Amino acid sequence: MDDRVLGRMSAQLVQDYKRDKVSRSDWEQAYTQGLDLLGFKYVLNTRPFQGASGVTHPLLSEAVTQFQAQAYKELLPSDGPVRTTVIGAQTKEVEDQATRVKDFMNYMLMEEMEEYTPDTDQLLFYLPLAGSAFKKIYYDEIKQRAVAKFVPAEDLIVPYYATDLKDCERITHVVKMSENDVLKQQKAGFYRDVELIPKQAEKSPIQDKLNELEGVKWKVLNLLEKKNINIIF
């Protein structure tokens, strides 16, 4: 495809992405303010007087942790998350096939796909906080297997008034990758072999708040991530 056509397409896509991101600014603000209610951070207040209590009751964090623990044991039981059901006529051959499918998928999820369990655990923590969380399952050319990655709500951008991802006109996933990872994907043929131009990471109010709760300073983080590249697709 001609580079000029690709340039026009990319410009239009970036414009649409920015418009979708602006449309959900109220959600981002509410989410950022809600993170302060976790009670993970002590604030030294000066109002209404110096030394006023800055403690937030950790009710929200307790509820989130309980949800995470209960959902984890339901979604990731010790014998694996996959169950199979035979639809229609049940014969020994079909039942044996269903058992083989179940055993193979449980083996892949629990043994081969090493990111599946920790990413699901992380997803179950963020789900009650953000209201939405996503899993992206795709074939990785580098690892030569399927992977299942947790996608936070702030990194999956759709038009704010979309009601269903299946019927949504546009879904944008912001992927944070190091320059080295992008080069590997280029060598594997997943991305076009073009010159990379590293740029300063785009500041996100949600990520800034998460970094603040974790005690990570933006300047230090920016130095660590100065070789990172944001890919929008």
For tokens 């896509």, what's the residue? 13
Chain center to CA of 230:
14
Query: In terms of Cα–Cα distance, which of 54, 57, 51, 13 is closest to 38?
Result: 57
Residue with tokens 């010790």: 78
Longest dimension (CA), the chain: 76
**CB burial readout 122-150, b (16+ within 10 A) else e:** ebbbbbbbbeebbeeeeeeeeeeeebbbb
pLDDT given at position 224: 42
Are the C-beta atoms of 232 and 14 separated by less than 8 Å?
yes
Structure tokens, 13: 């896509």
Q: Distances from the Cα of 204 to the Cαs of 24, 33, 148, in angstroms?
A: 13, 14, 24
Residue 29: what pLDDT?
86
Render each residue's pLDDT in the chain as its tens digit; 233 residues: 788 888 899 899 889 999 998 888 888 888 888 887 776 666 667 677 776 666 677 778 888 889 999 999 999 998 899 999 999 888 999 999 999 999 999 999 999 999 999 999 999 998 988 888 999 998 888 888 999 999 998 899 988 888 888 888 889 998 888 888 888 888 888 888 888 876 666 667 777 777 776 666 544 444 444 445 555 55
Asked if 145 and 139 count as a contact pair (C-beta separation under 8 A), the reply is: yes
Tell me, what's the pLDDT at 166?
Answer: 85
* pTM, entire model: 0.74
Q: How many residues in total does the chain contain?
A: 233
For residue 54, the model assigns a pLDDT of 65
**What's residue 221's pLDDT?**
43
Q: Give the domain ranges of the chain.
A: 1-30+158-233, 58-153
Whole-angstrom distance, CA of residue 213 vs CA of residue 41: 6
Cβ-contact 182, 231 below 8 angstroms:
yes
